[in-house]
Amino acid sequence: MSDVYAEPTTGADPADPATLARYTTLRLGGPAGRLATAASADEIVQQVQEAELREDPVLVLAGGSNVVIGDQGFPGTVVLIRSRGYRVVAEDADTVTVRVEAGEPWDDLVAATVEHGWSGLECLSGIPGSAGATPIQNVGAYGQEVAETIVAVEAYDRSHRAVVRIAAEDCGFAYRGSIFKYSDRWVVLSVDFRLTRAPLSGPVRYAELARALGVEVGDRVPLADARATVLRLRAGKGMVLDPDDPDTRSVGSFFTNPVLERAAYDLFRERVGDLGDPPNWPCPGDRVKISAAWLIDKAGFGRGYPGPAGVAISSKHTLALTNRGGTAGTAALVALAREIRDGVHARFGVTLHPEPVLINCTI
């Protein structure tokens, strides 16, 4: 457990150990007022409690893959989550329940589950960040969501100053959301996943993945094949971290796919005109999910679209906003996000919402 103290300043100096740009996949963000590292659940709780005693604001930061931090940084205490490891806490003939520390790198965990022959996370390969972040936004990709395998989340409840275990049904899981996402009440300490003992993946639900695997939607494939194919697809979109590829300096998908009520969807289709059939998926309650990437592209913001001061849409994927280096700052990225949001709304009447958590910045 360690602390670094810094006087808040404007801007982001990557050489400064307190600059939060060092701890985010965007490589953007100003300084922390105080930076603390916690290597266990007990240390996480201790650091949060000590900050509260000082009446410091608290920001919990693990992999930094789903957060956009403003150029002014964060004036309080930033707790870096560095707890590691996982262990089996329950098992039977068909399933195994694995308790994973919040700071365990997510893709390391997925690789381990595939190696062990535990099915349920294989399509979530290559996603950056930590295991503790996955319930916060109900991480999902290629037809899987963590809500399908999470059975409980252990968290520190700051309101009651107690460690609690929250059952999955009480986590409020929704599309890219949960009770944890927009509240600082809970600090995730560990997550329990119930996985299936099986050499094959779950049924492949995502058409793009099925095509890449050469199977039909609903088929099962060897776990290692599912993982390798997902990694290849993600890398082709700049969604697997690579220090030599500026397309990977992002938070992944910046906007969520809009979910429209049927009447709003019908109005949207009228505005589509001759642009073709937009990708869409039925949702409960007679609602329809539409592709944010399609909206962005058809509104005139194609791959590589430049923003100010060294930010741009990824050259590989229209949903990723990237830091290309140079003088890029968070303000420039936010300006680009705002331009895209407003352009899509003007063209289609649909409002895009950011997927990452925004700290001391807003669009």
Which residues form the catalytic set?
176, 253, 355
Q: How far apart are CA 154 and CA 166, in angstroms?
A: 6
Q: Which long-range contacts (CB under 8 A, 24 or more apart) does 10-15 make?
A: 10/71, 10/72, 11/71, 11/329, 12/71, 12/73, 12/329, 12/330
Torsion of CA 176, 23, 70, 295, to 10 degrees: -40
By the 8 A CB rule, do 288 and 265 touch? yes
Distances (CA, A) of 304 to 59, 68, 179, 251: 32, 20, 35, 16
Give the sheet arrangement for strand 58-61, strand by strand: 2-5, 32-38, 74-81, 58-61
Written as six digits, the tokens of 202 are 């779950």
* Residue 61 DSSP one-character state: E
The strand pair at 311-313 and 321-323 is best described as antiparallel
* Residue 257 DSSP one-character state: P
By the 8 A CB rule, do 193 and 171 touch? no
Nearest to 339 by CA among 299, 303, 288: 299
